[in-house]
Amino acid sequence: MLMRKVTKVGAMQRLARQWRQDGLRIGFVPTMGFLHDGHLSLVRRARQIVGPKGMVVLSIYVNPMQFAPTEDLAAYPRDLARDTELCRKEAVDVLFLPMNEEMYPADHGREFSTAVVEEKISRCMEGASRPTHFRGVTTVVAKLFNMVLPDVAVFGAKDFQQGAVIQRMVRDLNFPLKVVVAPTLRESDGLAMSSRNKYLQGDERRQALVLSRCLRQTRERVRKEGVVAAARLRDAVAAMVSAEPAARLDYVEFFDPETLVAVEAVEPGTQMAMATFVGRTRLIDNIKL
Amino acid sequence: MLMRKVTKVGAMQRLARQWRQDGLRIGFVPTMGFLHDGHLSLVRRARQIVGPKGMVVLSIYVNPMQFAPTEDLAAYPRDLARDTELCRKEAVDVLFLPMNEEMYPADHGREFSTAVVEEKISRCMEGASRPTHFRGVTTVVAKLFNMVLPDVAVFGAKDFQQGAVIQRMVRDLNFPLKVVVAPTLRESDGLAMSSRNKYLQGDERRQALVLSRCLRQTRERVRKEGVVAAARLRDAVAAMVSAEPAARLDYVEFFDPETLVAVEAVEPGTQMAMATFVGRTRLIDNIKL
């Protein structure tokens, strides 16, 4: 089966509308490219849901709107040739590569002035550390949904809050689709797969294991002790992170996985998420305790 | 042909998706009910566009989110029996009546926290007088679009800025549909049709003619004089409005019909819009000069 590359928004919409008219189910995996096995597991999940006759679209778009001026937009890793080959092997039907000029047209009289904002569960954690991030995410995802018209969109659980924010947006704005959040894939030593792992230099790669180690040890403790004060767990995590010379804790939070409201008494089922700089690389990870 | 009444969001979406799969075009007229000939002209326009085999949906929803606490949400006129009869006569296929509980679910864990915001052309005029209004409009219209999945949505030109804001939202967020803004219908004496005209008591009905008179006389003047300073036209309008004892000018603006940017030198083709209180009733009207 031939994989199609689509770069024009209008062409993508026409394809999607034709598929819908033909009764074909559409599965969608939005990414920023530099694909790894985690992404490919989302493609397989999408395929599983829409079936062999369904259509699977993977988009690659490094969305400027979700990066702050100080962040790594320009440096974000890209390898379209490799991504294309990976998509082909996974039997992706359409590789959708929208372009900045069409996504955010900035010509006169074509100014871009609309945003989708989630104002509750996007405030904490990533939203606190990156105040304009989720506004960029919800806006671009709404746009992509309107281009690809999916029945199901699959996101990775590593970005736990992102998955929750998008589910909230879909529900609140009644997008006619289902959001699936699929499990995080990990390297054999526990590091959560992420395109940003490529930034890690020298010993940073080893030190980056502190995230998954914190999550695992916290889970073991909560499973053993039953209920533990969040403050005590936070202290233990801070100590573990500060033991790694290149690591600096950004946040660690314990919260209800549905409402993202922080809890003081942590128990099995509580969600834990953390962000840590390792050198100049900011990594996130999370776990259900 | 039987007209169907739909109140459930899920039922509306299933219908719309089936129509799309059947290749039927969908025309959509979102309203707040208390229908008048202006609304019915939008229905006819929708029908004309989708053809006799197409489906025309008219929604009635008095959207709390677009009313400020001080505004006329509770008083907004309603007459569902009459509206239903009018829709039936106009061969509307589905009368969609979504309910508050589904539009803005407020139960625990079902809080509503997403909004669609337009942040440029929604700031002036109606947006200046009613600061949260357009946020409510864009959010509810995005929701309704995701429920009805129209090919074309028809809005009335009386709410000129609303039409422009919605066109901007559709373009920026890539909703796969066309927005049509259809001409304002007027009573025989020139008053723009509006559900709020019902509020006018006694002599207010006559005094309300000051809006259309201002527009008409300004157009005549601009057509005769060619270019006129906005300040001079504004003064003339203010004088005309203040001659009516129950009338109070809220704003009058002269602007580019595409960008809504105010102009100082008014010429033929400039758009003029105004809002005026007549007694306690706030009326709007506009014209292309």
Check B36, B39, B108, B133 and give the catalytic one.
B39
In this structure, what token pair is assigned to residue A111? Answer: 């100014």
How confident is the model over B119-143, as a mean pLDDT?
95
Q: What pLDDT score does B2 carry?
A: 87
Query: In the predicted model, is pLDDT for residue A10 greater than 70?
Result: yes
What whole-number distance in Å separates Cα of residue B282 and Cα of residue B125? 13
Q: What is the CATH number of domain B195-288?
A: 3.30.1300.10
Share of chain A above pLDDT 90, in %: 96
Each residue of B35-91: pLDDT tens digit?
999 999 999 999 999 999 999 999 999 999 999 999 989 999 999 999 999 999 999
pLDDT band at A106 (very low <50, low <70, confident <90, very high): confident
pTM over 0.90: yes
Q: Is B70 on the interface with A (CB under 8 A)?
A: no
What whole-number distance in Å separates Cα of residue B180 and Cα of residue B57? 15
Each residue of A179-218: pLDDT tens digit?
999 999 999 999 999 999 999 999 999 999 999 999 999 9
A118 to chain B: which residues are within 8 Å by CB?
Answer: 113-114
Q: Is A259 on the interface with B (CB under 8 A)?
A: yes
Share of chain B above pLDDT 70, in %: 99
Matching residue, tokens 């092997």: A89
pLDDT band at A108 (very low <50, low <70, confident <90, very high): low
Amino acid at B101: E
Inter-chain residue contact A17 with B119, CB threshold 8 Å: no
Q: What pLDDT score does B106 carry?
A: 78
Q: Is A23 on the interface with B (CB under 8 A)?
A: yes
pLDDT band at B109 (very low <50, low <70, confident <90, very high): low
- Please state the three-class secondary structure of chain B as a single string: CCCEEECCHHHHHHHHHHHHHCCCCEEEEEECCCCCHHHHHHHHHHHHHHCCCCEEEEEECCCHHHCCCCCCCCCCCCCHHHHHHHHHHCCCCEEECCCHHHHCCCCCCCCCCEEEEECCCCCCCHHHHCCCHHHHHHHHHHHHHHHHCCCEEEEECCCHHHHHHHHHHHHHHCCCCEEEEECCCECCCCCECCHHHHHCCCCHHHHCHHHHHHHHHHHHHHHHHCCEEHHHHHHHHHHHHHCCCCEEEEEEEEECCCCCCECCEECCCCEEEEEEEECCEEEEEEEEC
Q: Which of residues 75-94 of A touch B (CB under 8 A)?
A: none
Q: Is A109 on the interface with B (CB under 8 A)?
A: yes
Query: Where are chain B's structural domains?
Result: 4-182, 195-288
Each residue of B191-233: pLDDT tens digit?
999 999 999 999 999 999 999 999 999 999 999 999 999 999 9
Query: In the predicted model, is pLDDT for residue A92 greater than 90?
Result: yes
Active site residue B39: yes
Inter-chain residue contact A120 with B142, CB threshold 8 Å: no
Mention every residue, 6+ apart, whose C-beta is less than 8 A from residue A36: A185, A193, A194, A195
How does the average pLDDT of chain B come out, rounded? 96
Each residue of A58-81: pLDDT tens digit?
999 999 999 999 998 999 999 999
Nearest to B176 among A13, A21, A117 (CB): A13
Mention every residue, 6+ apart, whose C-beta is less than 8 A from residue A158: A38, A184, A192, A193, A194, A284, A285, A286
Q: What is the CATH number of domain A4-182?
A: 3.40.50.620
Q: What is the CATH number of domain A195-283?
A: 3.30.1300.10
B149 → chain A, closest CA residue: A176
Amino acid at B256: D
Q: What pLDDT score does B108 carry?
A: 61
Give the β-pairing of B114-118 and B247-255: unpaired
Inter-chain residue contact A21 with B21, CB threshold 8 Å: yes
A259 to chain B: which residues are within 8 Å by CB?
Answer: 109, 111
What whole-number distance in Å separates Cα of residue A213 and Cα of residue B179? 53
Each residue of A147-160: pLDDT tens digit?
999 999 999 999 99
Q: What pLDDT score does A109 carry?
A: 61
Query: In the predicted model, is pLDDT for residue B158 greater than 90?
Result: yes
Matching residue, tokens 């939202």: B169
